[in-house]
Amino acid sequence: MSSPTVIHLRSECKQFEHRSALTPTAAKSLIEHGYTVNVERSPARIFKDEEFEAAGATLVLEGSWPEVPESHLILGLKELPEEDMPLKHTHIQFAHCYKEQSGWQQVLRRFPRGGGTLYDLEFLTDPKGRRVAAFGSSAGYCGAALALLTYTHQLLNPDSPPLPAQSFYPTAPDLLKTIKSSLASSLNRAPSPKCLIIGSLGRCGSGAISLLKSAGIPAADITEWDMAETARGGPFDEIAEADIFINCVYLGNAPIPPFVTKEQLRQAGREGRRRLSVVCDVSCDPTSPNNPVRIYDTWTSFSEPTVAVDLSHHTTDTTTTNTNNNGQEGKVKAKPKPLSVVAIDHLPSLLPREASEEYCRDLLPSLLLLDRRHEADVWVRAEKLFGEKVASLPG
């Protein structure tokens, strides 16, 4: 009789990461199917340690995964800390190293150096190539939420710093309550924002549209684009003429013509056409050569949710007439219209419990095949891809 397959859920180390690749409900199901589930204690995970213990999992020390037997499967969500330690285990996670992202070679080399294997969660697919589980819908939903919060913050606090640090919400209704309150206050300053979503037919785009409609944005103010509308190739003037642009396009390996550029926005500003003040790049891969939102070059975070885009270069200063205390008129520079980008690479952490539950429901059928991973198609495909990526490393 063979020993049971052991799944070791590690504690996440990324700041503000409260999601979990495994829920207590999924852990219970795995245990009922003969798996052993070890769960690292975690002060940040949205599910309490006691919830996993009640489901039958064994609690172990936080950060203990490097010392467990090599046969244990290490399950996590986000990437491991940037270290040089060879990896000897089989890891199941989002590694962000298959699309030549910044530092991808260093990340990927750790696995063959230690004899380990990577099953990248982003590339677990069914026979048709569709991902078996994704955070797309919740990413779009949370991205649209932060876009609206950024927009209303700009209107209500024109002379203040950018959107302050954000914390996670217990439930979606709690998040919607905050957004609706901010929108109600901002409507005294400006009408409902015009919103443009590219990638509207995918899971991510559908999530963004759901949030906008739930928040009360009229359908007439939501422009939904997908492949048909972008087939002509960008840049697209319609982006500059919207108040909020949300990019929900999944980035593959093929280059995409830019959707928007700084020079395009400068030109729109000179012509008085630029309304755009908020961009949420849900796809969020600023270092990828295929990134179609080429107006920023760094990620943001929940502690600093936005980055400002400088459009001042080669523009003509706008002036307004100002009268001083002596009744004399003079020309002064008008304050430029702000443009903020939200580029957080783990947006669903804004709603960690609901996002984790939705994701794990879809992932669980594949997890239940881990004891047969060398013959189950979903894992065989993932291991084959890992081998191909390792083989592509420069010698």
Q: Which residues are catalytic?
A: 78, 96
Calpha distance 92→386 (Å, rounded): 12
Amino acid at site 336: P
Sign of the Cα pseudo-torsion (166, 77, 137, 46, in order): negative
Beta carbons within 8 Å of 340's beta carbon, 6+ residues apart = 150, 154, 162, 163, 277, 278, 279, 306, 307, 308, 309
Give the angle 394-126-104 at the CA atoms, nearest 5°: 20
Closest CA to 38 of 11, 78, 77, 1: 11
The alpha-helical segments, DSSP class H, found in 282-369 are 352-367
Beta strands 36-40; 293-294: pairing state = unpaired
Beta carbons within 8 Å of 351's beta carbon, 6+ residues apart = 138, 141, 142, 168, 169, 171, 172, 175
Calpha distance 136→204 (Å, rounded): 4
Calpha distance 102→104 (Å, rounded): 6
Q: Which H/E stretch holds residue 182? A: helix 172-186
Calpha distance 278→148 (Å, rounded): 8
